[in-house]
Every structure is written in C-alpha cells, then in structure tokens.
C-alpha cells in the first residue's frame, strides 16, 4: 500500500477529509505522517486522534529554506513516503524537495488558478467582484501556485457573501475534490505532459 | 423604448443571439445601430437582413484612436443610443468614449476574468491546462477586459478539447448569458459599486 504524508499549518479540515476518506476506503493508502511547521496546528491534534505519526518541523530551528527541505526530505525517505499532500501548508518548499518528489507533491488552492494566487485567494476573488470562483488541485512545481492542474471545481459567489460564508462553501468543495484527486494520484492514473494533466482509464 | 448599438468585427454570432432575443421579446429594446470596424464583417450582413441600420467605422480613415472615438460618439448621440454592447469588437475604445458612456458599455469575454485577458482567451485557457473556464460579461472601463463583472458562467474543459470544440461550447454559453445581462442593463437593474456589480430586484 502507498504511503502519503500530509503537510498542514492550521486547522486541518482538509486533513480530516483525507482521514475520513481513508477510513471509508475511498483513498487506498496509509497516511504515514502528518507534518506541521506550527507546533500549535490543530491538524496535529486531528492526526494524533487518528493514530497517525506526527512531526513538528520547526522553522526556527531550521531557518534556511534549503536546510528545512533537506530535513523534511530525510524524514520522508526514512518513513518511505510515496506522495506528499499539502493541505493548508503555509510555507514555500525549496526546489530541492520539489525535484526529489517531482510530480509527487500536490496542493489545493481556494481559487480557480491561475486567478488569485497566494495566501488570500478567497478574499481577493471577493474584492475583485468575480461572480464565479472555485478550487484547484495541482502538482507543486518550483513556482508558487503554478504547477500543472489536476482538477478544478467552480461555485457561484452570492451577492451577500462575506469571506466567511464563501470560505464555508469553498471548503466543502475542497473536501470533495481533494480526496478524489488524491485517489487518482495513488492509482497512478495522472499523466503530466507539459502544463496538462491527463487522467488515464 | 431604450436603444442599443452593437459593435462587431467579425462573424456576429453574439449579435445574432441579441437579434433573436429582441425578436422573442427577451430583450426589450431597439437595436438602433450595428457598427463594425471591418467592412467585410459578416455581422453587417446579419444586421441588414434584420433591417437594422449599419455603420462601417473605417479605422484607415480614422487612424487616431481618439478621433475614432469622437466620430463614433457623434454617431451614437445622433442616433440617440442609450447603451453600447460590444460583441466581438476587436478594437480598444479610447477613454473619451468610455467616459461619455460610463457604465453604459458592456463586453463579453470568453474566459473567467481576470484570467486569460486579451484576444486569445480560449486558446490560453487550453494551453494553461485549466480544467474549468467560462464566460464573463463586464462593464467596459479604461483598461482592457478589466471593468466590473456583471455575470459569469463556467464550463468544464474536456481532455480531448481543441480550440474549436471548446469555442463551440463557450459561444453557446455566451449566447445565453449575454442577452440575460443586456436585459438587466436595459431594465437599469445593475448597480456598480467599486469593482462589484449588484443586481436590483
């Protein structure tokens, strides 16, 4: 069985959706590690409750991004991790790690990329006045929120939406899309060709 | 009854959708003018067939963008045009005209703005590898494809889509969204506040 590591920095609602999908057999993998760059991330509590090994990768002890990546990479290798799933991980990974796990690290972003990259995708969609936004699952490459797109889902913005009400619907969509994409990744059905991702079978 | 002018440069399939919507009473307005910057635009044939006054605004005779705008503005004023609808009009309008018709000029663009601005929205969405794209109706301001968004519709990109197959679905969506938006504009139900457009009633 394939082993995945989930990287989180916060509340871990996507982690929970992944844990649930594993339990229900919708994702055929073992979560071999939950890694956080914040010691107080609630995601770590969720992982411990589910009996998953946790690791706090301390960015104060590892202030250099390349050193941080090398440390993380050693941990992943030692634990025989096949794929890395970023789930609200608010740190940019050094090219060293991305090269070592080329097309084996995926991320979820709360907008229809390439629109509204960065840490405030929901807020920026609202303030730009778009009527449709969504969620993107993509491979991680050396540029932030740029890698080949695996799947996207859209939703309508309502006239009275605030950041909170919109975030609620975005997260609901994320919790559906992410386990689906992870499952395709694990089944090795995703084929990357340039910027395009094809789904086999 | 309000009078609209439709500006086209080419085949005029959105113009045809507007003509049809007027005929069926879905748009309550008179098309007072179809203007083209290309003498061979098929849109002009469509307009003549429907008995709509046509005007060829010759960019060779009016090479200066500001002069072009002043000429067009005189024509619109003389014909008592209330609103301008851009439908595949491939020329950037000078600020002079945009100021004179502030929030009274709308455009349709074949992508989910602010993604894939410019003349190749469909092609660029495909080559970027997005899985969801769409259509945007927006007010025209001084910056190309930038004005406040009135409505958007999304559609999924299929794995075997080429530019032509995707364009076909995009245009179908346009022909539905544009008459709806024009109708709201004519009923003066669109309220612009900063970058956001609210629909009254």
SS3 sequence of chain A: CEEEEEEECCCCHHHHHHHHHHHCCCCCEEEEEEEECCCCCHHHHHHHHCCCCEEECCCCCCCCHHHHHHHHHHHHHHCCCCEEEECCCCCCCCHHHHHHCCCCEEEEECCCCCCCCCCCHHHHHHHHCCCEEEEEEEECCCCCCCCCEEEEEEEECCCCCCHHHHHHHHHHHHHHHHHHHHHHHHCCCEEEECCEEEECC
Q: State the Cα angle at B23 between B20 and B24, rounded to 5°.
A: 85
Q: Which of A109, A138, A171, A175 is catalytic?
A: A109
pLDDT digits (tens, 9 = 90+) for A82-122: 999 999 999 999 999 999 999 999 999 999 999 999 999 99
CB contact under 8 A, A132 and B152: yes
pLDDT on residue A199: 97
Among the partner-chain residues B130, B159, B199, the one whose CB lies closest to the CB of A152 is: B130
CB contact under 8 A, A132 and B129: no
Note the ipTM here: 0.95
The closest CB to that of A112, out of B112, B149, B194, belongs to: B112
Q: Is the pLDDT of residue B96 over 90?
A: yes
Whole domain around residue B134: which residue ranges? Answer: 3-199
Residue B201 has pLDDT above 90, yes or no: no
- At B17 the three-state DSSP class reads helix
The residue in chain B having the minimum alpha-carbon distance to the alpha carbon of residue A129 is B196
Chain A: residue nearest B135 by CA? A132
**What is the DSSP code (8-state) at residue B19?**
H
The confidence score (pLDDT) of residue A6 equals 98
The continuous run of DSSP H or E covering B15 comes out as helix B13-23
Contacts of A150 in chain B (CB under 8 A): 131
Task: Return the number of CB contacts < 8 Å for A and B.
Answer: 61
Q: Testing the interface with A: which of B130, B136, B143, B162 to mutate, by most A Cβ within 10 A?
A: B130
Give the total residue count for chain A. Answer: 201
Question: Please, which pLDDT band fits residue B44 given cuts at 50, 70 and 90?
Answer: very high
Nearest CA in chain A to B125: A114
User: Which residues on B lie below 8 Å from A199 (Cβ)?
Assistant: 159
Chain B neighbors of A159, CB-CB under 8 A: 198-199
Determine contact, residues B157/B125, Cβ cutoff 8 Å: yes
The mean per-residue pLDDT over the stretch B166-192 comes to 98
**pLDDT for A201:** 85
Which of A131, A146, A170 to substitute to test the interface with B, most B CBs within 10 Å?
A131
Which of chain A's residues have a Cβ under 8 Å away from the Cβ of B152? Answer: 130-132
State which residues of chain A have pLDDT below 70.
none
Q: Is the dihedral of CA B189, B192, B195, B200 positive or negative?
A: negative
Distance between B148 CA and the closest CA of chain A, angstroms: 7
B148 with A154: Cβ contact below 8 A: no
Average pLDDT rounded to a whole number, residues B175-191: 98
Min Cα–Cα distance to chain B from A166, Å: 16
Active site residue B109: yes
Output the pLDDT for position B157: 98
Mean pLDDT of the residues in chain B: 97
C-alpha–C-alpha distance, residues A163 and A157, integer Å: 10
Between A115, A152, A154, which is nearest B114 by CB? A115
CA distance A127 to chain B (A): 7
Number of structural domains in chain A? 1
3-class DSSP assignment, residue B123: helix
Helices assigned H by DSSP within B50-157: 65-78, 95-100, 121-128
**Chain A closest-CA separation from residue B80 CA (Å):** 31
The partner residue sitting opposite A114, judged by closest CB among B128, B154, B194, is B128
Q: Looking at residue B44, which CATH number applies to its domain?
A: 3.40.50.170
Give me the percent of chain A exceeding a pLDDT of 70.
100
Q: Which residues of B touch A (CB under 8 A)?
A: 112-115, 127-132, 134, 148-154, 159, 194-199
Task: For B182, list phi and psi in degrees, rounded to 5.
Answer: -60, -40
Q: Indicate if the pLDDT at residue B140 is higher than 90.
A: yes
In the block, tokens 């963008």 appear at B65
């Amino acid at each position: 069985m394939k082993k995945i590591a989930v990287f989180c920095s916060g509340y871990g609602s996507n982690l929970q959706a992944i844990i649930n999908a594993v339990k229900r057999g919708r994702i055929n993998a073992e979560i071999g590690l939950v890694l956080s760059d914040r010691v107080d991330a609630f995601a770590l509590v969720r992982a411990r409750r589910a009996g998953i090994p946790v690791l706090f990768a301390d960015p104060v002890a590892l202030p250099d991004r390349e050193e941080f990546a090398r440390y993380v990479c050693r941990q992943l290798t030692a634990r025989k991790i096949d794929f890395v799933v970023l789930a609200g991980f608010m740190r940019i990974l050094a090219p060293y790690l991305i090269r070592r796990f080329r097309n084996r690290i995926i991320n979820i972003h709360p907008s229809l990329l390439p629109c509204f990259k960065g840490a405030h995708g929901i807020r920026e969609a609202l303030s730009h006045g778009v009527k449709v936004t969504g969620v993107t699952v993509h491979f991680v490459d050396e540029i932030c929120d740029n890698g080949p797109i695996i799947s996207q889902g859209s939703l309508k913005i309502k006239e009275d939406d605030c950041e909170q009400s919109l975030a609620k619907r975005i997260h609901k969509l994320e919790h559906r899309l992410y386990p689906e994409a992870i499952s395709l990744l694990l089944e090795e059905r995703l084929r990357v060709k340039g910027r395009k991702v094809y789904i086999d079978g």
